[in-house]
């Protein structure tokens, strides 16, 4: 049985999709959810699903204590599902090819610091792109620049706005993220 740790800052719809998908499988479970926001929706999901969770501040996040806590779960994967802080270098080094992130655009375009949520979709629309999509990639020391594992695309229609694009992107994410996790763990 693989242990997965999810880091998330927001609503947690991706976390929920992963949790639901794994419920019907027996190869992995979510051992811990980490959030940097005490009012994040993902913490309500954790409570409802009886998954242990912790809220971190910057100091704890960069501490040895936190690194040890993560190590103690012996995670096969650390999944960033809408997590807005950069991962400390020590953690990146301790878990090579075991930390993955999902980005709501087709990297390497529209990535980097500050490119999250609607900022990404607004930039895609402003650039008049005809398609967008999702990128699931390994995490390294630089925002949104680790090796790409999977990308999936969607059309950007003439009358598209950031909300409708966000909805399409979430749809792709909820379909592909759990399956990519399964793929990685079963290799």
Q: β-pairing, 2-7 with 53-55?
A: unpaired
Expressed in angstroms, the distance from the first to the final Cα of the chain is 14
> Binding pattern to ligand GRF, positions 156-185, x when CB under 6 A?
-------------x---x------------
Measured distance CA(178)–CA(24) in Å, rounded: 12
Which residue number, 10 or 75, has a Cβ lying nearer to ligand GRF? 10
Stretch that binds ligand GRF, among 7-15, 54-62, 88-96, 144-152 (CB under 6 A): 7-15
The 3-state DSSP class for residue 34 equals strand
Rounded to the nearest 5 degrees, what angle is found at the Cα of 149, between the Cα atoms of 70 and 116? Answer: 70
Distances (CA, A) of 53 to 20, 70, 126: 17, 12, 38
Name which of residues 64 to 83 contact ligand GRF (CB under 6 A).
81-82
**Cα torsion angle, 75, 65, 81, 130, sign:** negative
Judged by CB under 6 A, the residue of 7, 22, 104, 176 near ligand GRF is: 104
Q: Does 12 engage in binding with ligand GRF (CB under 6 A)?
A: yes
Task: In angstroms, give the least distance from the CB of 57 to ligand GRF.
Answer: 20
Stretch that binds ligand GRF, among 9-17, 90-98, 121-129, 142-150 (CB under 6 A): 9-17
**Residues marked as catalytic:** 103
Task: In angstroms, give the least distance from the CB of 14 to ligand GRF.
Answer: 3
């Amino acid at each position: 049985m693989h242990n997965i740790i999810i880091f998330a800052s927001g609503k947690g719809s991706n976390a929920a999709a992963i949790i639901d998908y794994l419920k019907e499988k027996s190869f992995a479970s979510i051992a811990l959810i980490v959030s940097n926001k005490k009012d994040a929706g993902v913490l309500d999901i954790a409570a409802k699903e009886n998954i242990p969770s912790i809220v971190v501040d910057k100091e704890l996040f960069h501490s040895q204590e936190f690194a040890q806590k993560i190590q103690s779960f012996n995670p096969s994967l650390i999944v960033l599902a809408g997590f807005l802080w950069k991962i400390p270098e020590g953690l990146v080094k301790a878990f090579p090819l075991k930390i993955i992130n999902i980005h709501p655009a087709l990297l390497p375009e529209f990535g980097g610091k500050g490119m999250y949520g609607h900022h990404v979709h607004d930039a895609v629309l402003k650039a008049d792109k005809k398609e967008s999509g999702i990128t699931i990639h390994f995490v390294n020391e630089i925002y949104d620049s680790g090796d790409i594992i999977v990308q999936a695309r969607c059309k950007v229609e003439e009358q598209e706005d950031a909300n409708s694009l966000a909805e399409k992107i979430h749809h792709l994410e909820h379909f592909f993220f759990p399956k990519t996790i399964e793929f990685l763990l079963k290799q």
